[in-house]
A = this chain, B = another copy of it.
């Protein structure tokens, strides 16, 4: 089969049938692409095949594309080994870092012209073939990193693969990709861990006043330490550069607070830069961040109340763009913030009030950032 661009997709060899490899197999099989599965662990390729991700029989002839879905540290050596046996016309991978596989491939004497690195921005808290899903990549960005030596037809083939899996291809250089994930993924993870580590040694009574802010900041700190150790290790350079910048800001902050007689401009300046950075995160559908208005509604903690609220919002003809449920200790009723287009906020509040809901405030505030003083 072929995609919109006309580039053929298969046959494909998937090497490593964990979550990502199996999901790629499932996605391609749904579109009729021929998929061969291979895994170093005995029985794992067979398990993925039994789930419908392809066949565990080796291909008779070189395939169009080999997708290496091993752990990141093994990608370069695996691609080089496959290339030596001429398993495929083109090679890609799905590792969450992109410079290291390229370096490893070069060191292993591989053919850089036949390799285009990839990173689908999709995942799950689960792993293994049974966690695979044919729709895992649906609508997700899939970063492609063609190098200066990459053959055009290999790039086209990897892009066709991403599209066939339902993803949206995004082209970047490997170094640029690694810097991007360092700042938008690895750094936030490590700083969430730094905050959460302070909670580990806090008193129970101190935790009793925890609000929504600290919950949001530390959510990702619950991630698997072994997995994140590997992720950070394989992108140590860009992560270190970010951490050093943060340390410089932190040093200035500590200095400012230690000498309040010198003024607090350094503190305010950091908070302003925080505002600016937060406002730059792209909004829904990749568009610019939209300043939705929030309509805060008191919702009793009973089954069906949230459904009733959203039904009433829908009956008012308003599309709820986002929704936050605020839990605070000792709160019998929840506060639900409905984010809607600014021009719809007033009408929604009025419609909900007329249906008996308690809606807070007259002129709803902006969604981005939420209540500034709530957690304080």
Q: Is A213 an interface residue (CB 8 A)?
A: yes
Q: Is A355 an interface residue (CB 8 A)?
A: no
Q: Bound complex: CA of A253 vs CA of B274, how far in Å?
A: 23
A331-B139, A363-B126 in contact; A372/B133 too (CB < 8 A)? no
A198-B187, A264-B229, A323-B306 in contact; A125/B317 too (CB < 8 A)? no
Residues of A in contact, count (CB < 8 Å):
151
0/1 interface trace, chain A 290-329, chain B, CB 8 Å (1 if under): 0000000010011110110011011001111011010111
Contact A267 B233 (CB under 8 A): yes
List 5 A-B residue pairs with CB atoms under 8 Å apart, sorted by A's residue number: A180-B207, A188-B213, A200-B280, A219-B369, A311-B311
Q: Is A130 an interface residue (CB 8 A)?
A: yes
0/1 interface trace, chain A 251-273, chain B, CB 8 Å (1 if under): 10110011010001001101111
**Which residue of the partner chain, among B121, B122, B361, contacts A131 with CB atoms under 8 Å?**
B361
Q: Bound complex: CA of A326 vs CA of B2, how far in Å?
A: 30
Q: Which residues of B contact A207 (CB under 8 A)?
A: 180, 184, 280-282
Contact B124 A371 (CB under 8 A): yes
Contact A253 B190 (CB under 8 A): yes
Contact B125 A200 (CB under 8 A): no
Q: Which of A31-39, A77-85, A241-249 contacts B (4 or more CB under 8 A)?
A: A241-249
Q: Which residues of B contact A233 (CB under 8 A)?
A: 257, 260, 264, 267
**Which residue of the partner chain, among B135, B198, B328, B366, contacts A183 with CB atoms under 8 Å?**
B198
How far is the CB of A373 from the nearest CB of chain B, in Å? 3
Contact A372 B202 (CB under 8 A): no
Interface SS of chain A: helix
Q: Is A218 an interface residue (CB 8 A)?
A: yes
Q: Is A375 an interface residue (CB 8 A)?
A: yes
A138-B298, A278-B218, A371-B124 in contact; A244/B249 too (CB < 8 A)? no
Q: Bound complex: CA of A220 vs CA of B284, how far in Å?
A: 19
A214-B188, A240-B254, A371-B123 in contact; A360/B141 too (CB < 8 A)? no
Q: Is A160 an interface residue (CB 8 A)?
A: no
Q: Bound complex: CA of A96 vs CA of B373, how far in Å?
A: 9
Contact A126 B249 (CB under 8 A): no
Instruction: Apart from A181-B209, A310-B310, list 16 A-B contacts with CB within 8 A.
Output: A124-B360, A124-B374, A125-B373, A135-B298, A140-B328, A190-B270, A208-B282, A223-B275, A228-B372, A229-B264, A229-B267, A233-B257, A283-B327, A303-B319, A306-B323, A323-B323
**Which residue of the partner chain, among B183, B222, B274, contacts A278 with CB atoms under 8 Å?**
B222
